[in-house]
Structure 1
Amino acid sequence: MARGRSADYQLNRETIVRTATRLFAQQGYPGTSMSDLARECGISKPLLYHYVSDKYELLREITESHVTRLESLVGEVESLGLAPAPRLRELIRRFVHEYAQARHDHGVLTQDVKFLEAKDRNRVLRKERAVVAAFAATIAQARPELAKAALDKPLTMLLFGMINWMFTWLSPEGRLRHDDMAPIVADLFLGGLGAVNPPPVTSAASVKAPV
């Protein structure tokens, strides 16, 4: 009879996935070996293979789980029944907050999705396109004249340019937090520089300024 999994199997496996996510984000997928992962987790390679079959399995799981979560955020916001402009603000708020909680996941999705096999990469990219389409549809509803000029998708990509790369320069230990930046991104996108309101100076005054 095959031996059953221990009660803490899923917890141990999740620890391995989280560690792999951090290593892939910091070193890149090609630059991270299973030996690196085993050493970082404090376990042997044979034990590591008890939890995951190979490095590729981890990459596929990390990227697809992250983009699936982003799809879920879109669904949650759409279920609120908000008008287009408030809906866009809420989408921005939730995405910025999610990226703050999943900085490494987003880094892996951004830099390492190209290492997925075609069928897996296409599945992830379809989910990404669905997220982009939801933002574009909201922008089109907020400003129909821009949609008629075929600007809804380009404006969406400009917006994601602000959101997606925040993890590369906004320090978690800095004065500004992601939750401070979310309304600033929305203000800037919807109203231009003159519409930006600074966050309260007490938000995190005791920590270092962002890089």
Structure 2
Amino acid sequence: MARGRSAHYDDQRELILERAAHLFARQGYSGTSMNQVAEACGLSKPALYHYFRDKYALLVHIAEEHVSRLQELVEEVDTLQLAPEPRLRLLIERFVLEYARARDAHRVLTEDVRFLTEEDQARILGTERSVVGHFASAIGQQWPHIGTARLTKPTTMLLFGMINWMFTWLRPEGSLTHEDLAPMVADLFFGGVPAMRAPAHLQEPERQD
């Protein structure tokens, strides 16, 4: 008869992923050993292997669970069926706050995705592209002229450029929190996009050959 999981299995698993993400974010994936992960979790190395077969499995789970949570966020917002402006504002604010909660996992996804196999990278980045697509859809609904000028994707990536790299400069001990910045990012984006002008060659109608 197979031995069942302990009542605390899931909690322990989440703790391991959290501690591993913290080490990967601070030292890099290649600079972190399973011994260090085990020590950070207060486990023996054999006990750690009871949860994850190797360091690579930790990386996959950290990245996959992070993008899956982002996918859940956009789906939660979409179910609210908001008008274009509040929908996009809520998406921006939810993502800024999620990045604050999952700062280490986000940094791992941003910097260590290159260590994934092609298959795992394709699956995880596929989910990430789906998330970006939700934002692009929201931006296109808010500013239809952006789509007409073929600027929906570049505008979307400019937005992610603002929020994806906040972890590189925003310090927890600073005077501004992610809660402070979330509406500021939305205000900046909403104030700036209407002032954008498409390059001249994109203002011309597309040729129909």
Q: TM-score scaled by structure 2?
A: 0.88
Question: CA separation in 1, counterparts of 2:6 and 2:68?
Answer: 28
The code of the aligned residue for 1:84 comes to: P
> Aligned-pair distance for 1:118?
0.9
Answer 1 or 2: higher relative contact order, Cα 8 Å, separation at least 6: 2
- Taking the aligned partners of 2:190 and 2:117, their CA distance within structure 1 comes to 38
Distance between the aligned counterparts of 1:132 and 1:60, measured in 2? Answer: 20
Are 2:130 and 1:130 aligned?
yes
Question: What residue identity is the alignment partner of 2:111?
Answer: Q
The percentage of counterpart residues that share the same residue type is 62
1:1-211 paired onto structure 2 within 5 Å? 1-192=1-192
Q: Any idea what the Cα deviations from partners look like across 1:59-111, whole Å, max 9, x if unmatched?
A: 11110100011011101111111111211100001000101110001001100
User: Residue 192 of structure 1 aligns to a residue in which SS?
Assistant: helix
> Following TM superposition, by how much is the alpha carbon of 1:164 offset from its aligned partner in structure 2, in angstroms?
0.6
Give me the whole-angstrom Cα distance separating, in 1, the residues matched to 2:132 and 2:107: 18
What secondary structure, in the 3-state scheme, does the structure 2 residue paired with 1:82 have? coil
**TM-superposed deviation, 1:38:** 1.3
Structure 2 unmatched ranges of 5 or more? 194-209
Aligned to 1:203: none
Q: Deviations over 1:136-186 (max 9, x none)?
A: 111111111111111010000000011111111111121111011011111
Q: CA RMSD in A?
A: 1.3
Write the distance in 1 (CA, Å) between the matches of 2:101 and 2:111: 18
Matches of 1:4 and 1:188 in 2, distance apart?
52
Question: Using the alignment, how far apart are the partners of 2:7 and 2:132 within structure 1?
Answer: 39
Q: Counterparts of 2:84 and 2:34 in 1: how far apart (Å)?
A: 46
Partner Cα distance (2:106, 2:184) in 1: 21
Query: Could you tell me how far 1:3 is from its partner in structure 2?
Result: 3.3
Aligned residue-pair number = 193
Q: Which amino acid aligns with 2:21?
A: T
TM-score by length of 1: 0.88
